[in-house]
Amino acid sequence: MAEVRKRLLTAVAAAAVLGSLLTAAPASAAETVDWKPCADAPEIDCGAVTVPIDWAHPDRGTTTVALARRKATDPQARIGSILMDPGGPGGSGVDEVKYGWTLSPEITKRFDTVGFDPRGVGASTQIKCGLDELIADHPVVPRNQAEFEQLAQYNRKLGESCARLTGPLARFGDTKSVARDMDVIRAALGDRKLTYYGVSYGTLMGQQYAELFPDKIRALVLDSNMDHSQFTTWGFLNSETQSVQAEFGEFAAWCGRTPSCALHGQDVSKLTRALQNKAARGELKDPESGEPITPLDLASIIRAHFYGPDWDLLAKTLKSFADGTKPAASAKLKDDIPVNTVFQSVFCDDWRLPVHNFAELETYRRAAAAFAPDVKVSSLGWAAITGCIGWPSQADNPQHPLRLHGAPPLLMLSSKHDPATPYAWSRAAARQSGSTLLTYDGWGHGAYFKKSQCVVTATDDYLITGKLPAEGTHCAAVEPGTAQARVAGPKPPSTTGF
């Protein structure tokens, strides 16, 4: 997994976001987009808008935010544009739209689908960090105070390299800045009010847009919500780990009732805990590469397969580990299994989750492992809190309860069993904001893309007409691996973080 981690780190070296507190005026409608066919996807239009680096001081330089547009398929029925973000932090809405990310045909008929790369990401002006600093060896799970300090030094040097190579933009990528950029995009698209779909970390962008511009909202769908009122480090890690452990229980139950599961008839929990113990002793190897697999690597592999969910593939992978044999071609470990140790410049400006020393961090790790014996800890939650240890800048957009004043009703979606943004987070965000929460009683991340016609129909009705589903609506789960789950539907984004 070390080589996989290095490739992941290299691939996203320049894809970090987030930065500073904002107090500027709303966007001007004077901005327009000079659309041209995308060089690598000529059927899609590409463009950009220009925004201030520092919204509090617009005269101190500008940066560009890249866009990609797929036009509505029925111009006569066109309502406007729907702006979309796939999460991350650091996800590229431009790439997702260019390569097929859409909502349902009912939406793409009536709306131009517009993806954007948040400031600092992808085709936008990039936040760049030093590759040497990024791939430098460092303890991912410190074993003592000395290693805790080594981790802090690694994070500090990485953050300093981002500021050195990027300049001021490195400190101004925070979500409030992104939300203000979204209003420039709205105006440049010619829409009087914003129609938006954001998933995962994209929900935080939508939430903060609604706080800043309540009178500029037409319809906002926030799918798999962040809860920016998670104030404590332990509360954040605890909720993340509980959601992953709970979905492991769902996976084990599925194996028990599904004869095609590679671990059917076995005690899945017992097998996985044995693998975790073997990893802790340094004895677990990737059967294909021979590289050692740490407990955190194993936790990351498990969580990555919960997004879809890809339970069949996970069962085959765990079996290959237990048997010491190479997985079948269909179960081969993919290089895009997320390690998520490189989004500090995104996350650490939006969240203040301090860890003061090794003893405190070890207390969190042991507490998580005690109630999550199969997964031990959420690898995503762990990467988020440890990635900010020693980070050279403080959070300029720290947590606060979501408070909306004067905004129209919003629609929030959530899977009941979500491995990345716990269901409790969406419930909290809906309660704080007075939004309607539609619950998908199934599994995975991104409720709209789980082949539930119930979810899609209710969401589409809201986007088209503004009519919300009844408060407390639940949509039945679609069993993973069933024919219904495999039917054609909206294409999900390739989100691997929040």
Please state the rounded mean pLDDT for residues 55-62: 94
Residue 156 has pLDDT above 50, yes or no: yes
Same domain for 208 and 118, yes or no, is yes
Give the type of residue at 207.
Q
Same domain, 88 and 101: yes
Range 156-171 average pLDDT = 90
Of 1-10, 230-239, 395-404, 437-446, the range with the lowest mean pLDDT is: 1-10
Residues 225 and 257 in one domain: no
What pTM value is reported for the model? 0.88
pLDDT exceeds cutoff 60 at 334: no
In-domain check, residue 155: no
pLDDT given for residue 422 in this prediction: 97
In a domain, 116, yes or no: yes
Residue 328 pLDDT class (50, 70, 90 cuts) = low
Segment 415-440 shows an average pLDDT of: 97
Task: Assign residue 206 the CATH number of its domain.
Answer: 3.40.50.1820
How many domains does the chain fold into?
2
Task: Return the structure tokens found at 364.
Answer: 């969190």
Q: State how far the Cα of 427 lies from the Cα of 430, in Å rounded to an integer.
A: 5
Q: Are residues 226 and 368 in the same domain?
A: no
pLDDT at residue 102, as a whole number:
93
Which segment of 5-9, 44-48, 395-399, 416-420 scores lowest on mean pLDDT? 5-9
* pLDDT the model gives residue 366: 96
Q: Which of 359, 388, 417 is the last residue of a domain?
A: 388
pLDDT for res 489: 54
| Residue 168 lies inside a defined structural domain of this protein | no
